[in-house]
Structure 1
Amino acid sequence: MRSSKWIRIIPVAFIMYMLAYMDRINIGVLMPSIQNDLHISASAAGDIAGIFFVGYLILQIPGGILATKWSAKKFIFILIILWGLAAMASGLVQNEGQLKLVRFLLGVAEGGIWPAVLVLLANWFTVRERARANAFWMACLPVSAMLMAPLTGILLKFFSWKMVLIFEGIPPIIWAFVWYMIIKDRPSEASWMDEKEKNQLMNTLAAEQGKAVKSEGYTAAFKNKTVWGLVIMYFLWMTGFYGYTLWVPSVVEQFTKDSAVMGWLTAIPFTCALIGMIINSYWSDRRMNRVQHVVVPLMIAACTMVAGQFVESPEWKMILLSITAIGVYAPYGPLWAIPTAIIPAGIVGAALGLQNAIGNLGGYNGPKFFGVLKDATGNFHAGFYFLALSLALAAIVTFILGRSITETSMEAKSDDNVVKLD
């Protein structure tokens, strides 16, 4: 942890993706204003939020390939500039169709970031370090929500939603140049690194790559039933996850009409989510158990979503929203440890790409159908029942995947430590 790479790489990537995730948080806070200004339905609002994930799909697989064969640093730099411009363009739209188009383009630009950063981290961190590196980086998701929801609410108090989107598109462009100046693709390019540390790291990484199993490609991954189980699970989880994330501010708006207060209140569930995410990942590592630490939080979130529809008190609603936030965020760490434990090594890389690419379409499914149900019923109840069902089904699929692993495959995947998946 004292190594210079932890200071040079992780914080820069953390802030970069925190700014990217802002575009999935601010739209929820701004949505009531957007609906009033553009005179759109809840279903259309779900489309505006969700179409981002249709664009997000496009560069998921090409992004990883470009980062590997060309340069993760340069590819991400270009994408940061493009997403910043698209974010600012969101504030220049005049109607629903234009906003959908810009949100789609924003998703395309941001879609290549995730796989490219994973490639970058693999170039810098050994197998033993990579789980921690991924965990520290992914912690930016709830942190972004904690910070950006209040910030967006405060800005909205003084400016229109269009100006807020323009203002929030500027920081990524500035950070792109920080990224380009500090980040290096590989240790061999880092002049700031101690030569002894550099050589030791390069030798370790080279040795690990020499032992790596050659990928069998996406064709083999497409034919694997376990891969499709993970894709379905991830799609269901993301349906509930992003449906919840988008519509929480609209629920909180029922408590107060002050946008700044709404922003601060929206941050409370996501603060709880960060704490839950860290504790659950740490506990999962201590117990060396993955599936239980995915299934249990998802089932808790499903139950609290349903329970929230039967309480009227704002205090109880906030408590249940916070418990739900813990449940939908907590699986992040343990979940990404499951594919490498149950999928053949030759197709695991392709499987992860498919899981993230297709599964993230749940980010369209959740907000869209929540909005449709809101329009049909005139309240939030049916939408939250739908999201709760998605989370419960995700938990069930995860449980089935865990139970389907044979002891033989477990022994083949384990050396010194046996990871319990069920």
Structure 2
Amino acid sequence: MTSSKWLKIIPVAFIMYMLAYMDRINVGVLMPYIQKDLNISASSAGDIAGIFFVGYLILQIPGGILATKWSAKKFIFILMILWGLCAMASGFVQTEGQLKVVRFLLGVAEGGVWPAVLILLANWFTIKERARANAFWMACLPVSAILMAPISGLLLKNFDWQTVLILEGIPPIIFAFVWLAFIDDRPSDAKWMDDKERTKLLSDLNAEQSKSVKSQGYGAAFKNKTVWGLVVMYFLWMTGFYGYTMWVPSVVSTFTKDPATMGWLTAIPFTFALVGMVVNSIWSDRRLNRVQHVVTPLIIAAISMVAGQFVDSPVLQMVLLSITAIGVYAPYGPLWAIPTAIIPAGVVGAALGLQNAIGNLGGYNGPKFVGVLKDATGSFHAGFYFLAASLVLAALLTWFLGRTMNVQKANVPNKPTINKVS
């Protein structure tokens, strides 16, 4: 493992996206206070949280194109400034409608970051290294929740929710200049890199590129049934994932009225989520198995979600919330190894774009329906049943896709099954 690029690229990308993910965590922590101050329903609260993902869709595909043809470094720098300004603007809103507009624009600004970072990492890490690079980077998701939930809670103890949003919009703007100073688009631009190290890396990357299959574009991806199976599966998973992430602070707020305590308690499930995410990815690599390591956590999460509706003890509820967090986060590593295993090489790039773009709309679906059902029934029970059902359907669809492709590959000599994909 070449050390310099791992120490130079990954930590900066990690912090950058951790700041982006903060905007999906803090809204959950702040939501009880936003609802009270703006006098809005749980359904409207779901809209406020979820409309972010409608905006998020817009730059998913253009973001990858701009990062490839122009500069991932400069593109992300501009987006960091824009999302920081949008995050700060959230603190100046006076109405529900204004908050929805700003959250939508925040989603637009952050939507181009994910595909741009994947392009950046592909410019720096070989195929053999890329899974680890992606995994180290994606670990920022639970880490962001672990850190930002307590920070938001502590800030709430001293400031109102508007001021908290303004304060939490400042770090991305500052860190944008750190990003600009430390990140280079490709090894050939990196003055800090040893010449021998750079030459070897560029040689390896060029050799891989010369063997790569030319992309058949989005037209081919749209026509591929397996691609749409993965899109639907990801949509169902994100429905459960973001429905849980958005509403878990509101559930925890029923345990305590102190915002700082609520923030610390909210961090507990996400701490277990980080451990589960790392352990499941390592275990999946050792077993060379992907499907089981996606299906099993999703089923466990669904069961614990349902079980949580039958207990009254805050301690037991926290235990079940933690098990659910493990289940909804753990599939991240193994899941992103599946598309490259079951989709033709010429289609996989566009397929990943569609999967992330359309599938992330589940981030609107989950919070919204939990809010609607909360308003209709007066409790979170029905909403969490809905999220559990989404996770079960995602697990079944993953199992079906894996089984279908195993059958197909069994008829082709020397082809590994999906459960033997490295």
TM-score using structure 1 length: 0.98
Q: CA deviation at 1:183?
A: 0.2
Q: What does residue 309 of structure 1 align with? A: 309
Q: What does residue 242 of structure 2 align with? A: 242
Matches within 5 A, 1:146-161: 146-161=146-161
Q: What does residue 40 of structure 1 align with? A: 40
Secondary structure at 1:220 match in 2? helix
Matches within 5 A, 1:116-131: 116-131=116-131
Kept after mapping to 2: 8 A contact 1:341/1:413: no
Q: What does residue 251 of structure 2 align with? A: 251
Contiguous gaps of at least 5 residues in structure 2: none
Residues 412 and 212 from structure 1, CA distance in 2 versus in 1: closer, same or farther, beyond 3 angstroms?
farther
Q: What does residue 320 of structure 1 align with? A: 320
Q: What does residue 208 of structure 2 align with? A: 208
| Deviations 1:342-390, CA, capped at 9 Å, x for gaps | 0000100000000000000000000000000000000010000000000
Q: What does residue 379 of structure 2 align with? A: 379
AA of the residue aligned to 1:331:
P
Kept after mapping to 2: 8 A contact 1:341/1:410: no
AA of the residue aligned to 2:213:
V
> 19-28 or 402-411, which moves further after superposition?
402-411
Distance 1:413 1:188 in 2: 41
Distance 2:32 2:408 in 1: 53
Distance 2:416 2:109 in 1: 41
Kept after mapping to 2: 8 A contact 1:410/1:418: no
Distance 1:306 1:416 in 2: 36
Q: How many residues align?
A: 421
Residues 414 and 86 from structure 1, CA distance in 2 versus in 1: closer, same or farther, beyond 3 angstroms?
farther
Q: CA deviation at 1:411?
A: 8.7
Q: CA deviation at 1:409?
A: 3.4
Q: What does residue 402 of structure 1 align with? A: 402
| Deviations 1:39-75, CA, capped at 9 Å, x for gaps | 0000000000000000000000000000000000000
Q: What does residue 284 of structure 1 align with? A: 284
Matches within 5 A, 1:212-231: 212-231=212-231
Distance 1:409 1:314 in 2: 48
Kept after mapping to 1: 8 A contact 2:410/2:417: no
Contiguous gaps of at least 5 residues in structure 1: none
Secondary structure at 1:337 match in 2? coil
Distance 2:6 2:418 in 1: 28
Secondary structure at 2:263 match in 1? helix
Tell me the percent identity. Answer: 78
Q: CA deviation at 1:413?
A: 11
Structure 1 stretches (4+) deviating beyond 3 angstroms? 406-419
Distance 1:249 1:174 in 2: 28
Calculate the aligned-residue CA RMSD, in Å. Answer: 1.4
Q: CA deviation at 1:3?
A: 1.7
Residues 417 and 184 from structure 1, CA distance in 2 versus in 1: closer, same or farther, beyond 3 angstroms?
farther
Q: What does residue 365 of structure 2 align with? A: 365
Secondary structure at 1:256 match in 2? coil
Q: CA deviation at 1:5?
A: 0.3
Q: What does residue 346 of structure 1 align with? A: 346
Distance 1:418 1:215 in 2: 22
Distance 1:40 1:9 in 2: 42
Corresponding position: 1:14 with 2:20: no
AA of the residue aligned to 1:339:
P
Q: CA deviation at 1:420?
A: 2.8
Secondary structure at 1:58 match in 2? coil
Q: What does residue 297 of structure 1 align with? A: 297
Kept after mapping to 1: 8 A contact 2:247/2:367: yes
Kept after mapping to 1: 8 A contact 2:406/2:417: no
Distance 2:207 2:2 in 1: 22
Distance 1:290 1:417 in 2: 10
Distance 1:297 1:291 in 2: 10
Kept after mapping to 1: 8 A contact 2:156/2:164: yes
Distance 2:406 2:303 in 1: 31
Distance 1:384 1:124 in 2: 41
Q: CA deviation at 1:415?
A: 7.7
AA of the residue aligned to 1:190:
A
Secondary structure at 2:405 match in 1? coil
Q: CA deviation at 1:398?
A: 0.2
Kept after mapping to 2: 8 A contact 1:90/1:165: yes
Distance 1:6 1:288 in 2: 24
